[in-house]
Amino acid sequence: MIQIKNLKKVFETKKQKVQAVDDVSLEIEQGEIFGVIGYSGAGKSTFIRLINRLEEPTSGSIEIHDKDITKMSASELRLKRQKIGMIFQHFNLLWSRTVFDNIAFPLEIAGAPKAKIKEKVKELIHLVGLSGKESNYPSQLSGGQKQRVGIARALANDPEVLLCDEATSALDPETTDDILDLLVSINKKLGLTIILITHEMHVIQKICHRVAVMENGKVVETGEVLDVFVRPQSKTTKRFVQQLNPLEHEQDKLKEFINQHDDSEVIKLHFIGNNAKRALISEIAKNFEVEVNILQGSIAPTQEGSYGTLYIQLNGNSNVLTDTIHYIQKAGVEVEVLKHA
Ligand SMILES: Nc1ncnc2c1ncn2[C@@H]1O[C@H](COP(=O)(O)OP(=O)(O)OP(=O)(O)O)[C@@H](O)[C@H]1O
């Protein structure tokens, strides 16, 4: 487990003091993928760089497996860092070294014997899907392949945790998805704890188990990804969730449509987890004397199941409408009445 308590970082320049990380406390479980999301300047990069002390904290503690890294001496920290892998937005590869030699580099620094290095690098190249590219130089690789080298290099010393600093921000959407899939498969295969920072909700949705939302150096919201999606609390979180649901931008058109049909009930359904797989609309149509008109719908898969929203219009006798809504609620689907009949 990683336990972060009251972590603070103040940058002092001649002109001003910036509180980049402001009293952050978080617990990250062994084997989870934990995402930190925030807009530019929120303090994400500073936060992740504090975890391996690339930035020195102003105050607070960071315990990784019960060892507080903020209290470690330089030599202890050097050893500990071998167990904290990190990947970067711009890959940070050594351009004069081949793929093989880039991945071998941290093993050489750790003083591993040549035969062990050869065996480990081969294994890692296979793991990240770069077989056949051993002798290529970074300049001969695509962005996605470069990040695969970055990931293999970060895993060379069997880390306890992998830190990802905007690892997919320089990649196109398709390559981003490939790299995210690779991170999920590594997390599952190796049980590796992953902490990532991003400004894209898509990244959180696709791979994270839990998320923290940062704003002005503070964590303003944290929780399971599905919960945060369904019930975002802060204004910032709501804006991030909207990024994912293009329908939220269509609300004005929907409202206009609803107001034109003032004799019907309009409801919004939130399907969570396995409920999203249920053929609820056809059940309603079969069981109740109501007419169902589907207005809009969307579904977003997450690591903990899917989250879907569906806007429907119901026409029928008011008692039947009440029974229908109770039936939907009993099925575990959340109902928001947008307009009464
Ligand atoms: N070395 C530094 N010296 C002074 N101020 C800094 C330094 N590094 C970061 N800051 C300031 O700290 C705040 C948080 O920056 P940080 O880079 O951590 O945010 P971020 O959420 O990662 O944003 P971005 O995605 O734009 O990098 C900003 O106001 C930034 O200007």
What's residue 171's pLDDT? 94
Contacts for 143 with CB less than 8 Å, ≥ 6 apart: 91, 170, 171, 172, 175
Query: Rounded to the nearest 10 degrees, how much is the dihedral formed by the CA atoms of 199, 180, 30, 58?
Result: -30
Report strand pairing: 218-224 vs 210-215: antiparallel
**Between 295 and 213, whose confidence is greater?**
213
Which amino acid residue places its CA nearest to atom 14 of ligand 1?
Answer: 43
* pLDDT at 288 exceeding the cut of 90: yes
Which amino acid residue places its CA nearest to atom 30 of ligand 1?
Answer: 41
Task: Read off the pLDDT of residues 119-174 as tens digits, 9 standing for 90 and up.
Answer: 999 999 999 999 999 999 999 999 999 999 999 999 999 999 999 999 999 999 99
Is any atom of ligand 1 closer than 6 Å to the C-beta of 45? Answer: yes
DSSP state of 68: E
Is any atom of ligand 1 closer than 6 Å to the C-beta of 133? Answer: no
Domains of the chain with CATH codes: 2-244 (3.40.50.300), 247-339 (3.30.70.260)
What is the ipTM score, two decimals?
Answer: 0.97
Which amino acid residue places its CA nearest to atom 4 of ligand 1?
Answer: 11
* pLDDT at 74 exceeding the cut of 90: yes
| CA of 168 relative to ligand 1 center, distance in Å | 19
Mean pLDDT over all residues of the chain? 92
Average pLDDT for residues 221-237, to the nearest whole number?
91
Task: Read off the pLDDT of residues 298-330 as tens digits, 9 standing for 90 and up.
Answer: 888 888 888 888 889 999 988 999 999 999 999
* pLDDT at 336 exceeding the cut of 90: no
| CA of 18 relative to ligand 1 center, distance in Å | 9
Is any atom of ligand 1 closer than 6 Å to the C-beta of 20? Answer: yes
| CA of 236 relative to ligand 1 center, distance in Å | 18
Q: Three-class SS of residue 299?
A: strand
DSSP state of 169: T
Is any atom of ligand 1 closer than 6 Å to the C-beta of 89? Answer: no
Label residue 248 by pLDDT band (50, 70, 90). Answer: low
Is any atom of ligand 1 closer than 6 Å to the C-beta of 46? Answer: yes
Average pLDDT for residues 289-294, to the nearest whole number?
92
What's residue 225's pLDDT? 93
Task: Read off the pLDDT of residues 170-194 as tens digits, 9 standing for 90 and up.
Answer: 999 999 999 999 999 999 999 999 9
* pLDDT at 60 exceeding the cut of 90: yes
| CA of 195 relative to ligand 1 center, distance in Å | 18
* pLDDT at 100 exceeding the cut of 70: yes
